[in-house]
Structure 1
Amino acid sequence: MSRSHPQTVQSRRVFYIPGYDPIHPRRYRELYRTESAAQAVISGYDISLSRGDSKPHYGWKVDASIDNQSVHADVSVLVWSDIVRDSMDTSIAGTYAQLLRTAWTYIASGALRRLMRLRKGPVIAALYPVGMLLLQLIIALLGAWGAMAGTRTAFEWVMRSLISPMLPPLGETGMSVFFAAAVATGTLLCLVAGGCVAYFILRWFKTKDGKFFAYYLMHDYAYSAQSRGANPAPLEARMAQFRDAIAEALKGEVDEVLVVGHSSGAHLGVSILADLIRSGRVPEGAPALSFLSLGQVVPMVSFLPDAHRLRADLQYLSIRDELTWVDVTAPGDGCAFALCDPVSVSGVAPEPKRWPLVFSAQFTRSLSPERWAELRWRFFRLHFQYLCAFDRPLDYDYFQITAGPMTLGARYAHRPPSKSRIDVPVSKYTWIAA
Structure 2
Amino acid sequence: MRASSQIRRRRVFYIPGYDPIHPRRYRELYRKEGAEQAGISGYKIDLKPKTTQGAYGWHVTGTFDTTQVETDVEVLVWSDIVKASMGQSIPATYLQLIQTAYAYIGSGALFRLMRLRKGPMIAALYPVFFLLAQLAVALTAGWFGYRALHALTPQPVGAALGGVAAIAIAALILRWFRRHDNKVFAYYLMHDYAYSAKSLGENSPQLEARMADFGAAIIEALQQDWDEVLVIGHSSGAHLAVSILADVIRKEGVPTDKALGFLSLGQVVPMVSFLPRAHRLRRDLAYLSARDELAWVDVTAPGDGCAFALCDPVSVSGVAPDNKQWPLVISAAFTQTLSPQRWKALRWRFFRLHFQYLCAFDTPNGYDYFEITAGPQSLRARFADKSPSKSRIERPENRYTDTL
Q: Same fold (TM over 0.5)?
A: yes
Q: How many pairs were matched up?
A: 404
Of residues 179, 185, 189, the one that matches 2:161 is: 189
| Counterpart in the other structure of 2:196 | 224
| Counterpart in the other structure of 1:396 | 367
Q: List 4+ stretches of structure 1 deviating above 3 A.
A: none
Of residues 333, 338, 348, the one that matches 2:304 is: 333
Tell me how far 1:98 sits from its aligned partner.
0.2
Q: Distance in 1 between matches of 2:130 and 2:52?
A: 38
Query: How big is each residue's C-alpha offset from its partner over 1:354-380, in whole Å with a ceiling of 9 and x where there is no partner?
Result: 000001001000001111000000000
| Counterpart in the other structure of 1:283 | 255
| Counterpart in the other structure of 2:31 | 33
| Counterpart in the other structure of 1:146 | 144
Of residues 272, 292, 299, the one that matches 1:321 is: 292
Q: Distance in 1 between matches of 2:249 and 2:238?
A: 17
Tell me how far 1:390 sits from its aligned partner.
0.6
Tell me how far 1:151 sits from its aligned partner.
1.7
Of residues 362, 368, 373, the one that matches 2:333 is: 362
Q: Distance in 1 between matches of 2:361 and 2:144?
A: 50
Tell me how far 1:230 sits from its aligned partner.
0.5
| Counterpart in the other structure of 1:124 | 122
Query: How big is each residue's C-alpha offset from its partner over 1:276-312, in whole Å with a ceiling of 9 and x where there is no partner?
Result: 1011242343x20000000000000000000000000
| Counterpart in the other structure of 1:178 | none
Larger deviation, residues 233-242 vs 63-72: 63-72
Larger deviation, residues 5-14 vs 185-194: 185-194
**Structure 1 residues 267 and 347, CA gap change in structure 2 (3 angstroms):** same
Tell me how far 1:153 sits from its aligned partner.
2.8
Task: Tell me, yes or no, if the aligned pair for 2:298 and 2:329 is still in contact at 8 Å.
Answer: yes
Task: Tell me, yes or no, if the aligned pair for 2:52 and 2:72 is still in contact at 8 Å.
Answer: no
Aligned-pair RMSD on alpha carbons? Answer: 1.0
Partner letter of residue 7 of structure 1?
Answer: S
TM-score by length of 2: 0.99
TM-score by length of 1: 0.92
Task: Tell me, yes or no, if the aligned pair for 2:372 and 2:378 is still in contact at 8 Å.
Answer: yes
1:421 maps onto 2:392 in alignment = yes
Larger deviation, residues 276-285 vs 335-344: 276-285
Q: Distance in 1 between matches of 2:90 and 2:160?
A: 23
Of residues 214, 220, 228, the one that matches 1:256 is: 228
| Counterpart in the other structure of 2:14 | 16
Larger-Rg structure: 1
| Counterpart in the other structure of 1:167 | none
Tell me how far 1:53 sits from its aligned partner.
5.0
Partner letter of residue 138 of structure 1?
Answer: A
Partner letter of residue 102 of structure 2?
Answer: W
Partner SS for 1:116: helix
Query: How big is each residue's C-alpha offset from its partner over 1:221-245, in whole Å with a ceiling of 9 and x where there is no partner?
Result: 0000011000011000000000000
Tell me how far 1:261 sits from its aligned partner.
0.1
Q: Distance in 2 between matches of 1:279 and 1:55?
A: 22
| Counterpart in the other structure of 1:177 | none
Partner SS for 1:117: helix
1:155 maps onto 2:126 in alignment = no
Q: Distance in 2 between matches of 1:4 and 1:277?
A: 15
Tell me how far 1:150 sits from its aligned partner.
1.9
1:199 maps onto 2:197 in alignment = no
- Identify unmatched segments of 5+ residues in structure 2: none
Q: Percent identity?
A: 65
Partner letter of residue 111 of structure 2?
Answer: R
| Counterpart in the other structure of 1:387 | 358
Partner letter of residue 140 of structure 2?
Answer: L
| Counterpart in the other structure of 2:100 | 102
Tell me how far 1:424 sits from its aligned partner.
1.2
Query: How big is each residue's C-alpha offset from its partner over 1:200-250, in whole Å with a ceiling of 9 and x where there is no partner?
Result: 100011011101100000000000001100001100000000000000000
Partner SS for 2:115: coil
Partner SS for 1:229: coil
Q: Distance in 1 between matches of 2:53 and 2:193?
A: 30
Partner SS for 2:153: helix
Q: Distance in 1 between matches of 2:67 and 2:361?
A: 22
Task: Tell me, yes or no, if the aligned pair for 2:54 and 2:74 is still in contact at 8 Å.
Answer: no
- Identify unmatched segments of 5+ residues in structure 1: 157-181
